[in-house]
Amino acid sequence: MTRRYYVTTPIYYVNGAPHIGHAYTSVAADVIARFKRLAGFDVFFLTGTDEHGQKVEQAAQAAGMTPIAFADRVAADFRDMYDKMAISYDDFIRTTEPRHAAGAQALWKKLEENGHIYLGAYEGWYATRDECFYGEEELIDGPDGKKVAPTGAAVEWVKEPSYFFNLSKFGDRLLELYETRPGFIEPASRRNEVASFVKQGLRDLSVSRTSFNWGIPVPGDPKHVMYVWVDALANYLSAVGYPDQTAPRWDFWPANLHLVGKDILRFHAIYWPALLMGAGLPLPERVFSHGWWTIEGQKMSKSLGNVVDPRDLVAEFGLDPIRFFLMREMPFGGDSDLSRRAIISRMNVELANDLGNLAQRTLSQIARNCDGRLPPQGTHTAEDTKLLAAASLLPQIMHEQIDRQALTDALEEVWKVIRACNAYIDHQAPWKLKKTDAARMGDVLRVLADALRIIATVLQPYMPGSMDRMLTQLCVPDGARDFASLDTPLPAGCALPAPQGIFPRHVEPEAS
């Protein structure tokens, strides 16, 4: 039976253009999805756009467009960013699609049927930027003395009729969940924050609004639209066919992994499991929250004018170097800074020097000294065996890391092997063997080619285009680039295409 894996990104608000923060979550999810596919899993990788709510409505108004025309435009821009970043999503859901409205309304009805929704009136603070209700005690003093949300977002006092979800009744079950399934929220430091928030006691959640209508109508009471977070979270269900439990994709539920940024963990680790419990549905396996990028040491913001469009970075540095940088520079789960200097250093040291040179040296020596043909596997010395054994363990070690979302550690694991290959080539000095022991030279180059094949195979999820090219240069057939294919040795004598540099060094243009 094929094993299934369902991974999601948040669905992004269409109030503005895609930026590096969106690209980051999506590249991480893409690495995981690609890795699981190579390991033989049947993967469903979901992403999409969150198109309702006041924030989007206001952005559309400011642009002088109807909300749907505006959402169409921005959603298309997100897809364009995805194409440019090689995000291999299986489905892109938009919350304005009928299939989504059907799923979200079915979830609502189920909650109502199970007695978890009641009509009341909301009176309290709301931050449109965060699309979030805040308690008085959570507010902090803003720069001009006014109260603001803990995120710094402006708040307004809202008073309107509203339906409520009886979240307060779920506190104990949530705490039990965090305790019995510690992997449900990762990293652990954030799990503790969530648990202490829940321990303080939860208030019932206002789940509908009446002061605007850009949203999914509440079933049976269309004066209300669903609170945008309930609408949005339901995407993870509607995309797999909910409420139709005979839908072909329903088998993917529950999701294995919701990847989210730390700012939206509360919604995924508290509201979402409570809503699912209320509806009697199985809970996702894991919610992993990653950190935030600053840009050249500063918070990224429209007012500072430093919002980075990932497509600009790709145009300047190339796609794979940027995907690599994003996954390498920030320990997955922590925070980090994005700077030109750091991008160039990663490109030149780790890609051009460590990996690029290794491939170039190996392949050009095969081209020059072995007639461009892959040498046969020779008798292995202890050193050969050690190197190949370390390389062969990579798929397994990395798989365990990928399942914990240790995406940066997994890269470090590959680089250990790359560094070992570089030490090996220096020590074996195959260029000297040419005159003294041509057979051994062939053996050494073959060991390196075999190690490189494994390295390129396991790095495909991070840098799909460049690793594709590297595998082609190593004579690995197109359909034989998954982990299972590594068990079959490459045929000796295979004619290798002329080697071509894969990672050029980045040289800054001279300042004039």
Report which of 365, 373, 512, 503 is spatially closest to residue 445, judged by C-alpha positions: 365
Helix 407-428 vs helix 438-459: angle between axes, to the nearest 10 degrees?
170
What Rg, from alpha-carbon coordinates, does the chain have?
A: 26
**In degrees to the nearest 10, what's the CA dihedral of 159, 54, 11, 313?**
-130
**Which residues are CB-contacts of 348 (< 8 A; sequence separation ≥ 6)?**
505, 506
CB of 271 to ligand MSP, least distance (A): 10
Q: Six-digit token pair at 235?
A: 């995407």
Nearer to ligand MSP, 9 or 206 (CB): 9
Residue matched to tokens 């989504």: 100
Q: What number of chain residues touch ligand MSP (CB under 6 A)? A: 19
Nearer to ligand MSP, 297 or 479 (CB): 297
The answer to the question of residue 197 lying near ligand MSP (CB under 6 A) is no
Out of 71, 232, 276, 467, the residue judged to bind ligand MSP by CB under 6 A: 232
Nearer to ligand MSP, 310 or 430 (CB): 310
Task: Answer whether 94's CB lies under 8 Å from 100's CB.
Answer: yes
Buried b (16+ CB within 10 A) or exposed e, 435-457: eeeeebbbbbbbbbbbbbbbbbb
Out of 5, 6, 13, 44, the residue judged to bind ligand MSP by CB under 6 A: 13
Kind of pairing between the strands at 156-165 and 117-127? antiparallel
Q: What share of the chain is helix, strand, coil (3-state, %, to 5)?
A: 50, 15, 30
Nearer to ligand MSP, 264 or 319 (CB): 264
CB of 320 to ligand MSP, least distance (A): 20
Only one of the segments 8-16, 67-75, 423-431, 433-441 lies at the binding site for ligand MSP (rule: CB under 6 A); that segment is: 8-16
* 113, burial (CB in 10 Å: exposed 0-12, middle 13-18, buried 19+): exposed
CB of 373 to ligand MSP, least distance (A): 47
CB of 12 to ligand MSP, least distance (A): 4
The answer to the question of residue 11 lying near ligand MSP (CB under 6 A) is yes
The answer to the question of residue 12 lying near ligand MSP (CB under 6 A) is yes
CA 341 – CA 90 distance, rounded (Å): 35
CB of 21 to ligand MSP, least distance (A): 2
CB of 119 to ligand MSP, least distance (A): 25
The answer to the question of residue 402 lying near ligand MSP (CB under 6 A) is no
The answer to the question of residue 264 lying near ligand MSP (CB under 6 A) is yes
Encoded amino acid at 240, one letter:
V
Nearer to ligand MSP, 92 or 293 (CB): 293
Task: Answer whether 37's CB lies under 8 Å from 17's CB.
Answer: no
Only one of the segments 19-27, 143-151, 173-181, 380-388 lies at the binding site for ligand MSP (rule: CB under 6 A); that segment is: 19-27
Nearer to ligand MSP, 15 or 362 (CB): 15
Number of CB atoms found within 10 A of residue 3's CB:
11
x/- site string to ligand MSP, residues 286 to 325, per CB under 6 A?
Answer: ------xx------x-------------------------
The answer to the question of residue 22 lying near ligand MSP (CB under 6 A) is yes
CA 371 – CA 390 distance, rounded (Å): 29
CA 149 – CA 136 distance, rounded (Å): 9
First vs last C-alpha separation in the chain: 62
x/- site string to ligand MSP, residues 45 to 64, per CB under 6 A?
Answer: -----x--------------
Interacting residues with ligand MSP (CB under 6 A) = 10-13, 21-22, 24-25, 50, 232-233, 235, 260-261, 263-264, 292-293, 300
